[in-house]
Amino acid sequence: MKHLIVLFLLLLSAYSTGVAQVDKGTVITDTIYSKNLENSYGEDPNRAVSVYLPPGYSNSQQRYPVIYFLHGFTGDDKMLDFMSDILDYSITTNKIRPFILVISDQKTTYDGSFYSNSQLFGNWEDFTAFDLVKYMDKTYRTIAKPESRGITGHSMGGYGALKIAMRHPELFSSVYALSPGALAIVREYGPNSTTYKDFADVKTQEDLNKIYFGKVIVAFGKSWSPNPENPPFYCDVPFEYTDGKMTINQDVLKLWYENMPLYMVDAYLDNLNKLKAIKLDWGRNAGDRFTIQCKMFSQKLENVGVKHFAEEYIGTHVNNIYTKDGRIPNQMLPFFNSYLIFSDN
């Protein structure tokens, strides 16, 4: 029995040592300059780009598929520093084959680009779809074809992933939106909320910082309806209050519809059907603005015959995502493992 115990301990030690010595991926951060982001309103066209390279990348000549991860409102590329552990975990536990993942910094002076082309504040969609993809294919050993590119993101990033995939199926073959926002005008984004009434009293950035949804509305405006003649925020919003009375700016509302995925489906139906796979998910307890709009978007896709996956899970807008038992390693990455091409032959 004593010999068996010693043997067991030796095997356990060897196993533990082997686990400890599993290669980890590498995170590299660089800065790229984009002409698409040149502007006269204070947004920096030099953007940080953080790239996760899988274990063994430096010791091989293998090429890898790329997952483009779009961060949420107020986030940036630095989130890859804490995501790298779950990416390593997902590879070592065979939830996904080795891959490259990239996050670009799209935090702006107004907290988030919404991955949209703005006439005043920079063409962030073009930066993401063209400049970033070109940079990755030129700099790293990628499999440079749409079948090996997936796009995903959380919250604002989930919105951006859906929108860019809808508009660029020639670049990305599959999309997974984690708890996406800004899909439709509902709840705090809509006229029956207090958001626009509160915004009517805002005159300075300091005032704006006190109302979260006011900041989101300004980010929408700067992304989708910029106006150089309307200081201090240089954008228009569709619902305005004057002397306590609300008016609707139909021209601005049309611009917002043109940039919100629910209202884009009919115009981009052919593109949606070109995508190999589409999925979105949302937490049951994320709040009505997320659950309602995600269900509306999924229902719209179903109504027009677009095959997709949609899942409501037990969670909020932010929990059960960035952990080893969360959505990224157990749903999002296995999704791309199934639908991306991992060979360049």
Segments making up each domain of the chain, as ranges: 22-184+261-339, 187-255
The amino acid sitting at 144 is A
Tell me how many degrees the CA angle 177-181-182 measures, rounded to the nearest 5.
125
Cis bond leading into 146, ω under 30°?
no
Residue-level pLDDT at 287 = 85
Q: What is the pLDDT of residue 186?
A: 92
Rounded Cα distance between 204 and 194, Å, is 19
pLDDT of residue 176: 98
Q: Which parts of the chain register pLDDT below 50? A: 1-21
pLDDT, position 242: 87
Out of 3.30.420.40, 3.30.565.10, 3.60.20.10, 3.40.50.1820, select the CATH number for domain 22-184+261-339: 3.40.50.1820
The neighbouring-strand residues paired with 233 are: none
Strands 66-70 and 100-104, sheet pairing: parallel
